[in-house]
Amino acid sequence: MSSALIVGGSGGLGREIARHLVERGDDVIVTSRSADRATEVAAEIGARGLAIDLTAPETIEKALAEVGELDHLVITAIEQSGNTVKSFSIEDAIKASTVKLVGYTEVARVLHDRFRPGASIVLFGGLGAVRPYPGSTMITATNSAVSGVMRTLAVELAPVRVNALHPGVVGDSPAWRERDLAMVTARTPTGRVTSTAEVVDATDFLLRNGAANAIDLHLDGGTRIV
Average per-residue pLDDT for the chain? 95
In the structure, what pLDDT confidence band is assigned to residue 175 with cuts at 50, 70 and 90? Answer: confident
Long-range contacts of 12-16, Cβ-Cβ distance < 8 Å, separation of 24 or more: 12/76, 12/173, 12/174, 12/175, 13/76, 13/124, 13/167, 13/170, 13/173, 13/196, 13/199, 13/200, 14/74, 14/76, 14/77, 15/41, 15/45, 16/196, 16/199, 16/200
User: Does residue 170 surpass a pLDDT of 90?
Assistant: yes
Provide the residue type at 125 as one letter. G
pLDDT at residue number 1:
80
CA-wise closest residue to 133 among 124, 123, 143 = 143
115-140 pLDDT, tens per residue?
A: 999 999 999 999 989 988 888 999 99
pLDDT at residue number 179:
87
Spatial distance between the Cα atoms of 167 and 152, rounded to a whole number of angstroms: 21
Spatial distance between the Cα atoms of 120 and 175, rounded to a whole number of angstroms: 27
Strands 48-51 and 70-75: unpaired
DSSP 33: S
Q: Is the dihedral of CA 171, 175, 125, 106 positive or negative?
A: negative
Q: What angle do CA 129, 207, 17 make, to 5 degrees?
A: 75
Burial 62-74 (b: 16+ CB within 10 A, else e): ebbeebeebbbbb
CB atoms within 10 A of CB 118: 13
User: Does residue 178 surpass a pLDDT of 90?
Assistant: no
**Contact assessment for residue 122 and residue 76, using Cβ atoms and an 8 Å cutoff:** no
Spatial distance between the Cα atoms of 172 and 105, rounded to a whole number of angstroms: 29
